[in-house]
């Protein structure tokens, strides 16, 4: 139940967090240019209403749709949400949160239904018309159904808050908010619940106390100051001043969560502080004009109404003092608790809040480990390269561990450890519930893989990991000793010096080259895009290996790999790929070359040569 709530809350906040800059822009326009602002300007203030009515809900809907249905999901989510906005007089932030993901889900299901059935040459026509027609239908549905329903829900929530305020009961909300924050529901509460309600209030009164409840840095600051003054553990005491700066000025409230987890009873301090401060703000009629995110004192004061900065600051100081006074005796009486253990506990809780497995660095392998399985969606490319690299890496440990790769849905039941990307973990759990699950961001270079290796090394010799240079040398020798059994990369399949493009265009180019060389049918290309939408094929070290889904293996005519070099890089999410290897494999025929690729890119000089050379012959020699 807790995990489900955390995952839902994380999903809500994930729709809002990328768009906080837009909320800040709207907040500044409100604070500066409305009639009661610092620099009243009727023309500039006129920007405020369309931003709030249209821009913010549509941005939220686009993000929610994209999270579920990729770029097409984002577009159709925005279209459908316009119907929701038009169907009510309320600000439809909550409507965007509902309609965006729903529309993304609908288009994702449509794309799945027509996958492989679109005649060649009609892909663009069907893709565009499907978004347009389905988007129109969903916009009409949003106008007549979703808009009025969301408006009723928002009216109910706002009415409930109004009752709490009128009866001086709003401070009691802190009893639930502060513990929820430590369970990593802080962003979900602030942006998934308080922001929609606060925005509705701010539209009517120009401010809202709802923006102040979770974001106030005072309660956490008092806890940190108590540890700074009275902690018995030296490491904890010396770490607290840095945490104070990050918390107060950086607005990263999660920095104080481990200090509470060391002594959970200390949670009383921020609860008491928050109760008193909310009562003070209610009494003074205080509020902010827009969300303060992150919860920095700078952001908190920046979005305060004109002339009310002192009231807002006073509330922060009251919360800090009360939290400090309540926390101090608890810290004094507590034993010398270890901050590292509390931080590790926090990481595990944060992983749960994201619906993830615990990070490998916080999990020690136990018992007999005989088989480690690297799994990806199709079990064809990413996991194959990752398994090969890790197999070579642990070989010097002489643990007798088998390292293989499979599709995430076909993990053998004798697997002891399963390594997969974060978005595939639920499928991995269902496929191999008996195995320890370790999630990673990419297969070639990931801290969790390093932590897994370290844990295995300690298991092997009882102390610490052997020098990596030895493992690296053996890897290189093994690659030289075992050349690829079959040349599945040819000169015509190597393109260098390409201009930077989007990720989708790079994948499309790799697929078309595979098709031109007779490795795959043309219908394999959409499957490559679908695979990327499911989980990224970025491997690390500036390398991506796009390939089709497991369902598209029938579209492969013969095994082949192509390489596209982008000197300026192609953005794969937050990372850039400079080498894009398009892969098509029948059976295990491509695994030898994947192993070869892994061995080459592990050597920094050779990897740099692959990224910069303009001579395809030189690249072919590296793979010979």
Determine the pLDDT at residue 475.
40
Give the three-state DSSP class for 162.
helix
Cβ neighbours, 10 Å, residue 240: 23
Cβ neighbours, 10 Å, residue 35: 9
| C-alpha–C-alpha distance, residues 412 and 320, integer Å | 54
Is 191 one of the annotated active-site residues of the chain?
Answer: no
Q: Comparing 360-481 with 491-622, is the CATH topology the same?
A: no
Determine the pLDDT at residue 474.
40
Which architecture does CATH list for 491-622? 3-Layer(aba) Sandwich (3.40)
Determine the pLDDT at residue 590.
63
pTM: 0.53
Taking every pair of Cα atoms in the chain, the longest distance, rounded to a whole number of angstroms, is 79
Report whether 431 contacts 410 (CB < 8 A): yes
Determine the pLDDT at residue 362.
53
- What are the residue ranges in the chain where pLDDT is below 70? 1-10, 183-188, 191-192, 335-367, 377-381, 462-488, 587-593
Determine the pLDDT at residue 458.
81
Domain regions of the chain by residue span: 1-11+168-355, 47-167, 360-481, 491-622
pLDDT digits (tens, 9 = 90+) for 219-239: 999 999 999 999 887 777 888
Is 420 one of the annotated active-site residues of the chain?
Answer: no
| C-alpha–C-alpha distance, residues 376 and 385, integer Å | 11
CA torsion 203-207-211-217 (nearest 10°) is: 160
| C-alpha–C-alpha distance, residues 478 and 474, integer Å | 6
Report whether 30 contacts 205 (CB < 8 A): no
Determine the pLDDT at residue 478.
41
Report whether 569 contacts 542 (CB < 8 A): yes
Q: At what angle do helices 339-353 and 2-16 cross, to 10 degrees?
A: 80
Determine the pLDDT at residue 472.
42
Determine the pLDDT at residue 473.
42
Catalytic residue of the set 272, 376, 420, 515: 376
Report whether 187 contacts 257 (CB < 8 A): no
Catalytic residue of the set 191, 247, 253, 547: 547
Cβ neighbours, 10 Å, residue 398: 9
| C-alpha–C-alpha distance, residues 504 and 571, integer Å | 10
Report whether 94 contacts 197 (CB < 8 A): no
| C-alpha–C-alpha distance, residues 340 and 346, integer Å | 10
Name 451's Cβ contacts closer than 8 Å, sequence gap at least 6: 359, 360, 361, 362, 363
Cβ neighbours, 10 Å, residue 190: 27
Cα–Cα distances (Å) from 496 to 148, 502, 566, 610, 617, in that order, read 55, 16, 7, 9, 11
Cα–Cα distances (Å) from 208 to 11, 165, 307, 594, in that order, read 24, 11, 15, 57
Cβ neighbours, 10 Å, residue 587: 10
The closest alpha carbon to 443, from 362, 385, 393, 403, belongs to: 385
Classified by CATH at the fold level, domain 360-481 comes out as Rossmann fold (3.40.50)
The closest alpha carbon to 569, from 498, 510, 505, 514, belongs to: 498
């Amino acid at each position: 139940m807790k995990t489900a709530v955390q995952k839902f809350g994380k999903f809500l906040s994930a729709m809002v967090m990328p768009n906080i800059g837009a909320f800040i822009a709207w907040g500044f326009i409100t604070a500066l240019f409305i009639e009661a602002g610092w620099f009243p300007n009727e023309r500039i203030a006129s920007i405020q209403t369309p931003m709030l009515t249209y821009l913010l809900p549509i941005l939220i809907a686009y993000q929610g749709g994209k999270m579920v249905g990729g770029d097409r999901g984002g577009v159709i989510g925005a279209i459908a949400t316009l119907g929701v906005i038009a169907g009510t007089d309320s600000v439809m932030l909550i409507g965007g949160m509902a309609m965006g993901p729903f529309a993304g889900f609908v288009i994702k299901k449509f794309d799945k239904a027509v996958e492989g059935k679109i005649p060649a040459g009609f892909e663009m026509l069907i893709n565009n018309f499907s978004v347009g027609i389905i988007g129109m239908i969903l916009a009409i549905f949003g106008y007549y159904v979703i808009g009025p329903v969301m408006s009723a829900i928002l009216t109910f929530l706002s009415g409930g808050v109004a009752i709490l305020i009128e009866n001086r009961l709003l401070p009691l909300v802190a009893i639930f908010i502060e513990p929820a924050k430590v369970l990593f529901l802080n962003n979900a509460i602030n942006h998934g619940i308080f922001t929609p309600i606060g925005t509705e209030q701010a539209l009517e009164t120009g401010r809202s106390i709802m923006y102040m409840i979770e974001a106030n840095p005072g309660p956490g600051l008092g806890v940190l100051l108590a540890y700074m003054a009275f902690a018995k553990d030296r490491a904890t005491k010396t770490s607290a001043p840095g945490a104070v700066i990050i918390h107060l000025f950086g607005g990263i409230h999660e920095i104080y969560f481990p200090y509470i987890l060391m002594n959970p009873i200390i949670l009383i301090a921020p609860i008491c502080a928050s109760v008193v401060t909310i009562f003070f703000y209610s009494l003074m009629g205080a509020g902010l004009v827009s969300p303060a995110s992150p919860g920095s004192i700078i952001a908190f004061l920046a979005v305060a109404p004109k002339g009310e900065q002192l009231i807002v600051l006073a509330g922060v100081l009251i919360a800090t003092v009360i939290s400090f006074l309540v926390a101090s005796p608890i810290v004094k009486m507590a034993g010398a608790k270890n901050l590292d253990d509390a931080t590790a506990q926090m990481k595990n809780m944060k992983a749960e809040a994201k619906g993830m497995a615990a990070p490998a660095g916080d999990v020690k392998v136990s018992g007999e480990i005989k088989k480690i399985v690297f799994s990806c969606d199709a079990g064809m490319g990413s996991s194959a390269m990752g398994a090969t690299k890790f197999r070579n890496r642990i070989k010097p440990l002489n643990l007798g561990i088998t390292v293989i790769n499979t599709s995430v849905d076909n993990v053998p039941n004798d697997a002891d450890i399963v390594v997969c990307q974060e978005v595939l973990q639920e499928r991995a759990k269902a496929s191999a519930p008996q195995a320890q699950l370790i999630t990673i961001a990419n297969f070639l270079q990931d801290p969790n893989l390093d932590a897994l290796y370290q844990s295995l090394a300690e298991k092997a010799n009882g102390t610490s990991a052997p020098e990596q240079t030895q493992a690296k040398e053996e890897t290189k020798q093994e690659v030289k000793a075992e050349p690829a059994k079959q040349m599945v990369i040819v000169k015509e399949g190597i393109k260098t010096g390409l201009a930077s493009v989007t990720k989708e265009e790079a994948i499309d180019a790799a697929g078309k080259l595979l098709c031109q060389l007779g490795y795959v049918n043309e219908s394999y290309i959409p499957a490559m895009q679908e695979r990327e939408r499911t989980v990224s094929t970025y491997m690390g070290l500036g390398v991506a290996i796009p390939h089709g889904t497991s369902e598209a293996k029938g579209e492969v005519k013969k095994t082949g790999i192509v390489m596209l070099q982008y000197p300026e890089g192609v953005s794969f999410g937050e990372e850039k790929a400079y080498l894009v290897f398009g892969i098509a494999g029948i059976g295990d025929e491509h695994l030898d070359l994947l192993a070869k690729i892994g061995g080459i890119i592990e050597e920094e000089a050779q990897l740099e040569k692959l990224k910069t050379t303009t001579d395809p012959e030189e690249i072919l020699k590296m793979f010979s």
